[in-house]
Amino acid sequence: MRKNERTKAILRKLHELYPETECTLDIDENVFHLLVRAVLSAQCTDVRVNEVTAVLFDKYPDFPDFLTAGEEEIGRIIKPCGFWKVKAHYLYEMARMLKEDFGGQIPKTQEELQKFPGVGRKVANLIVSEMFGVPAVVVDTHCMRVSGRLGLSCGKNPSVIEQELMKILPEDEWAPFGHRMVDHGRAVCTARSPRCGECPLSDLCPSAGKTGETIKKGKKR
């Protein structure tokens, strides 16, 4: 099967498996909230980030409140997210830059968003795709791992993988594809023990039965 045909078949199957896919970070109408959640999600589960930010935003709902609170108070609340001192500094500086450099408005381009501390291409793509409707591929660890195993990308650098996926996926699939990679990476194609014997994509996957501690035909190798 040619790569473009296999890509289409993978997309169809992913739609069947995860029809209602969405970002697992909580999203409301406040762009700053998602930016904060995305920064906190580094080395932390989305579930914990959502729990912590529910408390954080209840007390300090927007960026001017972060400036009033200060780094120490922000850090006290976000401590369960890990690396809290660095992240508290990032969030305080982000709030300061929003006030002093951006007139209180979150920028709408990946390039400008990456001027904020703690914001790389992955976070910037998440913000523009979820909040501003700009097509973008969010390449996180799940997307890197699963798209590589499926033979849809071969790069090791997230930027390279992003470009590879943009070339083979329709624009309207860019953002949801990333979410479905997270869904499949958590449910089946896990990092250490992918369940290839149970995977509905195994007939389309060149890595089926070949990765790590793969469970093949229902038994662990």
Output the pLDDT for position 213. Answer: 44
Residue 127: C-alpha distances to residues 28, 74, 107, 152, 163 (Å): 12, 22, 10, 24, 18
Instruction: Identify which of 117, 154, 119 has the alpha carbon closest to the alpha carbon of residue 138.
Output: 119
DSSP SS3 for 165: helix
Pairing status of strand 219-220 against strand 215-216: antiparallel
Determine the Cα–Cα distance for residues 69 and 122; give it in Å rounded to an integer: 28
pLDDT of residue 209: 85
Confidence band for 211, pLDDT divided at 50, 70 and 90: low
Rounded Cα distance, 82 and 68, in Å: 22
pLDDT at 102: 97
Q: Determine the Cα–Cα distance for residues 32 and 127; give it in Å rounded to an integer.
A: 9
Q: Give CA angle at 173 (167, 176), nearest 5°.
A: 130
Instruction: Please report, for residues 35, 101, 183, the alpha-carbon distance to residue 94 in angstroms, rounded to integers and kept in the order given.
Output: 9, 10, 30
- Residue-range domains of the chain with CATH: 3-21+137-220 (1.10.1670.10), 31-131 (1.10.340.30)
Residue 221, pLDDT > 90, answer no
